[in-house]
Amino acid sequence: MDSLLSICDIKDDVKHILELASKIKAGEIEKNPLEGKTLAMIFEKPSTRTRVSFDVGMYQLGGRTLFLSSNDLQMGRGEPISDTAKVLSRFVDGIMIRAIEHDDVVELAKYSDVPVISGLTNLEHPCQVLADVLTIKEHFGSFDGKKICFVGDGNNVCNSLLLIAPILGMNMSVTCPKGYEPNSQIIKKAQKLANKNNTEITVTDDVELALNNVDVVYTDVWVSMGDEIESAQRKIDFKPYQVNSDLMKLANDDAIFMHCLPAIRGQEVSADVIDGPQSVVFDEAENRLHAQKAVLYYYLK
């Protein structure tokens, strides 16, 4: 059963899904294409955009959702993931899971007879970056020759951006303190994709180098869920990597600022940047809905 656990799972269909998202956003698809379909939504982590976009998206496509926290499922009492997958497959048409461990989602998909969509794991956040690149396409009109720079922690969002950028013909740089680089296996996969598509991937602790000729400046929180014990040290290590007006000046004059949200003004980004004219963070957040609807249409139609 095909599932969306990584951007690599849809590397040949990313453009098609983005076209679907644009058509859905423009109201150019049939009414209620998922009528009678049900999506189970499992949440091990709290969520705003993921929960609302999938819930509202499924409703607007004519289907319905079931919200299931860890406490709502027998998984929370030790039922094997494989058993949960087999049971849910007999009740619903698809499963969206926002989990902690990527391996748990891989196991869920292995034993599921319906599509499994990752709403986030510690390794990747594919649905987020689909919304991100949809926003980039809307703003610039094309991906050709564009360059993204991710500033800060090489986390799950950064990992997925590294994979999707070369697929779409974009260059990407990551600038972070030493020790906070993206996943090494993801970098290898991204480099392979970049070589195939004649694009460039760079990972460096040199902010000025990374921001040269950049069209998109992207950042995320310094302390993600699960990293709270490292909070004090992370605030020290990432301080030189705050996206502020001085840092934005290193990018192209027409560069846009992106953040997957929630954001902490005064930490990873200054208020004048995230609330300023170069910021597209709320267009990006809105596009979570349209991108998720495209994913649902693609997998459940």
Domain limits of the chain?
7-125+287-300, 128-284
Q: Give residue-wise pLDDT tens across range 237-294.
A: 999 999 999 999 999 999 999 999 999 999 999 999 999 999 999 999 999 999 999 9
- Return the axis-axis angle of helices 102-111 and 81-89, rounded to nearest 10°: 50
The answer to whether 128 is annotated as binding is yes
> Taking the CB of residue 67, how many other CB atoms lie within 10 A of it?
13
Residues sharing a CB contact under 8 Å with residue 236, sequence separation 6 or more, in sequence order? none
Quick check: 216 and 148 in contact, CB under 8 A? yes
Question: Is 123 labeled as ligand-binding?
Answer: no
User: How is residue 229 annotated by DSSP?
Assistant: G
Q: Is 224 annotated as a binding residue?
A: yes
Q: What is the pLDDT of residue 260?
A: 98
| 225 appears as a binding residue in the annotation | yes
Q: 218 forms bridges with which residues in the sheet? A: 150, 258
Token pair belonging to 257: 């600022």
User: In what side-by-side order are the strands of the sheet with 147-151?
Assistant: 201-204, 171-175, 147-151, 216-219, 256-259
pTM over 0.95: yes
Enclosing H/E stretch for 247: helix 245-248
* Cis previous bond, 126, omega within 30: no
50 marked as part of a ligand binding site: yes
Q: Does 7-125+287-300 match 128-284 in CATH topology?
A: yes
**Model confidence over 190-223: pLDDT tens digits?**
999 999 999 999 999 999 999 999 999 999 999 8
> Does 47 appear as a known binding residue?
yes
Average pLDDT for residues 140-163, to the nearest whole number? 98
Among 34, 16, 42, smallest CA distance to 296 is for 34
Q: Which class in CATH covers the domain with range 128-284?
A: alpha beta
Annotated ligand binding at 259? The verdict is: no
The pLDDT of residue 225: 72
- pLDDT value at 74 more than 80: no
Least confident window among 9-13, 122-126, 228-232, 233-237: 228-232
Active site residues: 98, 125, 128, 220, 260, 288
Q: Is 139 exposed, middle or buried (0-12, 13-18, 19+ CB in 10 A)?
A: middle
Q: How many CA atoms lie within 13 A of 101 on its CB side?
A: 6
Helix (H, G, I), strand (E, B) or coil at 35: coil
Integer Cα distance of 283 and 132 in angstroms = 9
Cα 208–chain centre separation: 25
Place domain 7-125+287-300 in its CATH homologous superfamily: Aspartate/ornithine carbamoyltransferase (3.40.50.1370)
Q: Are 211 and 251 in contact (CB under 8 A)?
A: yes
Hey, what are 191's tokens?
Answer: 């480099």
Q: What is the pLDDT of residue 78?
A: 78
- pLDDT of 73 strictly over 90: no
Q: Residue 72 has what pLDDT?
A: 83
User: H or E element: which one contains 193?
Assistant: helix 184-196
